[in-house]
Amino acid sequence: MAVDEGALLFAPQNNRAAYVLLNLPATMAPRLPRSAALVLATILGFLCLVALSDDEQLENLRFVRRAEDYASLVSHYNYIVIGGGTAGCPLATTLSEHSRVLLLERGGLPYRNMSSQEHFTDALADTTLASPAQRFISEDGVVNARARVLGGGSCLNAGFYTRASVDYVRAAGWDARLVNSSYRWVERALVSRPDVPPWQAALRDALLEAGVTPDNGFTFDHVAGTKIGGTIFDNAGQRHTAADFLRHARPTGLTVLLYATVSRILFRQQGTLHVQSTHTPAHSCQGSPYPVAYGVVFADPLGVQHRVYLQDGAKNEVILSAGTLGSPQLLMLSGVGPQAHLEAHGIQVLVDQPMVGQGVADNPMNSVFIPSPVPVALSLVQVVGITRSGSFIEGVSGSEFGIPVSEGARRLARSFGLFSPQVKPPGFAASILCIIWWIGASILTMCSCMQTGQLGTLPPKQRTPEALQRAAEAMRRLDRRAFRGGFILEKILGPVSSGHIELRSTDPRANPAVTFNYFQEKEDLDRCVQGIQTIERVIQSRAFANFTYANASVESIFADSANFPVNLLPRHVNDSRTPEQYCRDTVMTIWHYHGGCQVGAVVDDDYRVFGVQRLRVIDSSTFKYSPGTNPQATVMMLGRYMGVKIQAERWRK
């Protein structure tokens, strides 16, 4: 008699070893007393559970499957959530408590090498079509990435967890009590207090010495001064992501499809609107016919087209949680957006909504590499200085930082991950981009920068494959001590400057064209300058002295970092570079871009899209400004928050 395989599949928490031991037929069971068998089964089950990685545990959830394994070509749900990212996972989990939910994710499970802090750069260094990080380059010439994986950006980021400020919550019009309970729900599932290594402790003390006071200790709250925040990496260095929320879903209420690429939202004409206004919620108007969302079309990896529909009922909805790029892109592909732009791409216009794709912003980040005379432990963001001038100071460290750990990642990234001169984005041939995110030229200066041909000073069009090859070979020959140190970075509040998103094509897999207009507004530039000046004080502080070379001046440290090719912008090479020029020349992303479907412009206060019914957008595209110092906490909170609110609306008569 065999063990029931069906029951084994549904064994709680994947504790299959314990289940097998306790359910073997008498003729097959070990000759142990039942109590001893129970103890042994518990130990074995615990060990097996610990051995499973996060993605293996997710893989064993019976409601998570690949899109091509989805047998039903037509199905009906209460909610269809597009995007299994930082907002979509907590949202779908919450809605599944009392409803039937379909969650469509265009990527796959988090890779095993995304789970470890040591592998932080590996996924971002992967430029293949299967990469969980889909690279794009903004029209400004800054390299960026968007998540393509279950769990979204929480699978790729530096893990820092901090809430939005009280003022931000108030300005958003959110229910403060529900906000706090939603944050706590997130924190119970994912968030840890970090063990602070000496480099991060020195950064904290240096920030205090530099005047970023008071010392707020460990806190999730966004308050002026210096603090230690939370992290989604546990004390073993393992990452926990938004995909972890799915383990708390009601299994019979949720279906998750991976590698499901949504091409458009389906609408039908129904009812009447008094005025087809893009600034009036459709559910409150009467008069002319209006579009009602009733389903979506998605393709699986084999190219098979699937249609899924909402069940009948006014409270069943399609919810876009595809992120700052994906949500406005899918609205436009579905006929909701600027009329002239949609017509130029041959898209039938359902609602002329000129604000779709507008107000997109990215918080500019600038950094400096600080070479260390002593070994430095690996650490991602743990400490933040929240200045009163509107800049946020953070740091990352480690002697091996940026050098991929896994052999596969080394092959992909020519041994230097995101810092490789040879990492190249799709679509670039002769002008191969030198993607070096948080590293300074000080490394090359210390180890014979001339070997690289001063790559950082070359204009982008002169960074030929041959020049990049020489630089990569030179980097391979460097003593690994050259990478010893850390990066202090600043990003600014807001920002005030913003841009837009436009379609490049009607292919839902392609990146849209994105313009952020970094430092277009003087207020942003002023904040950056003040942040750079704070970093200078940190470097010169007594608290940070153990991690700087005594003979290295602040000027030389910044000059070296300024020469590294971190973007595609023209470089201004001179010995008297101003802080303003440093901000402009070395601007990078910290992946905190947002906007494109902002509240009040594209969606109402309940995140319903203006001009249509049964369609909402719930993700970072609805933000006007980035919340807190790092947005992931608030994006996850928003998923939970709106899930609770939507459930309450559903049962309200």
Q: What does the block give as tokens for 343?
A: 């017509």
3-state SS assignment for residue 74: strand
* Residue 296 · residue 306 · CB < 8 Å: no
**Which residues make Cβ contacts (< 8 Å) with residue 376, sequence separation at least 6?**
199, 397, 398, 399, 484, 485, 486, 547
> Is 76 known to be catalytic?
no
Q: How far apart (Å, rounded) are the C-alpha atoms in residues 133 and 107?
A: 9
Instruction: Given the residues 119, 306, 592, 594, select the one marked as catalytic.
Output: 592
* Residue 159 · residue 242 · CB < 8 Å: no
* Residue 91 · residue 643 · CB < 8 Å: yes
Query: 54: how many CB neighbours lie within 10 A of its CB?
Result: 21
Q: Is 632 annotated as a binding residue?
A: yes
Cβ neighbourhood burial of 647 (10 Å; 0-12, 13-18, 19+): middle
Which residue is listed with tokens 């065999």? 2
Q: How far apart (Å, rounded) are the C-alpha atoms in residues 333 and 306?
A: 17
* Residue 209 · residue 225 · CB < 8 Å: no
Q: Is 591 annotated as a binding residue?
A: yes
Q: Is 603 annotated as a binding residue?
A: no
Q: Is 356 annotated as a binding residue?
A: no
* Residue 171 · residue 155 · CB < 8 Å: no
Task: Give the CA angle between residues 218, 224, 229 to the nearest 5°.
Answer: 25
Q: Is 262 annotated as a binding residue?
A: yes
* Residue 154 · residue 232 · CB < 8 Å: yes
Q: How far apart (Å, rounded) are the C-alpha atoms in residues 573 and 582?
A: 10
Closest CA to 146 of 399, 396, 341, 426: 426
Q: Is 76 annotated as a binding residue?
A: no
Helix residue ranges per DSSP H, 210-353:
323-333, 339-344
Q: How far apart (Å, rounded) are the C-alpha atoms in residues 639 and 245?
A: 11
Detail the residues annotated as belonging to a binding site for FAD: 149, 262, 591-592, 631-632
Detail the residues annotated as belonging to a binding site: 149, 262, 591-592, 631-632
Residues serving a catalytic function are 592
